């Protein structure tokens, strides 16, 4: 898929105010500082479409970007160790779960995982919640440029095995990406393109 246009549409914390166009949506979410904004900018080839920050927890809104005029890329707040109050964190969790449970246009979620780290409880719990609520998702391993190929393969296999050990019947689809060198961009966009074509049939 070629990205011909990528336009910011709206930011908000109210799911009812999200765009009401019947276009497929793909939501990107992960722990704070996992490289979500950088990944979105890499996918769209726009340097500052999503705001990047060295401070975890920068994204605190549901951000809709219209891609090629026919689908939405949704940038959701990071979860985890964001430097925000417990009240704000609780508010985030509420509208994140509201988004996933109420948004009929949602086709799939992409859960971003730093490939350098072992499985984190907060990620496993969130994916478990998605599974229990029958929300399709894929894992996007980020920061692959930080590891050598054998270490990447070893870490992925360990992660998938941890999911199987955690009573998952099968492991989800996954992608290996790097915002620094563009690894995984084509595979991820082609996956979205294939789903969009199936929806349009």
Instruction: Give per-residue pLDDT as tens, 49-66.
Output: 887 544 444 457 889 999
Domains, the chain, ordered by start: 6-200 (3.40.50.300)
* Measured CA distances, 192 to 165, 189, 200 (Å): 29, 5, 12
As given in the structure block, the two tokens for residue 164 are 């199987």
Return the axis-axis angle of helices 149-165 and 121-132, rounded to nearest 10°: 60
Provide the 8-state DSSP code for 192: H
Instruction: Give per-residue pLDDT as tens, 70-118.
Output: 999 999 987 765 555 666 556 667 778 889 999 999 999 999 999 999 9
**In sequence order, what are the beta bridge partners of 6?**
67
């Amino acid at each position: 898929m070629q990205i011909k246009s990528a336009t910011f549409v709206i930011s908000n914390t109210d799911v009812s105010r999200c765009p009401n166009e019947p276009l497929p949506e793909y939501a990107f979410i992960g722990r704070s500082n996992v490289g979500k904004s950088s990944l979105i900018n890499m996918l769209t080839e726009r340097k500052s479409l999503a705001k990047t920050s060295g401070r975890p927890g920068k994204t605190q809104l549901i951000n809709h970007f219209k891609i090629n005029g026919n689908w939405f890329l949704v940038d959701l707040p990071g979860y985890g160790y964001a430097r925000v109050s417990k009240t704000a964190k609780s508010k985030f969790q509420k509208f994140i779960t509201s988004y996933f449970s109420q948004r009929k246009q949602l086709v799939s979620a992409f859960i971003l995982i730093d490939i350098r780290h072992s499985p984190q409880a907060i990620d496993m719990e969130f994916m478990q919640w998605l599974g229990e609520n029958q929300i399709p998702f894929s894992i996007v391993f980020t920061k692959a440029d930080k590891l050598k190929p054998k270490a990447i393969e070893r870490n992925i296999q360990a992660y998938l095995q941890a999911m199987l050990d955690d009573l998952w019947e099968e492991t989800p689809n996954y992608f290996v990406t790097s915002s620094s060198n563009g690894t995984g961009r084509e595979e991820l966009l082609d996956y979205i393109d294939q789903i969009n074509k199936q929806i349009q049939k």
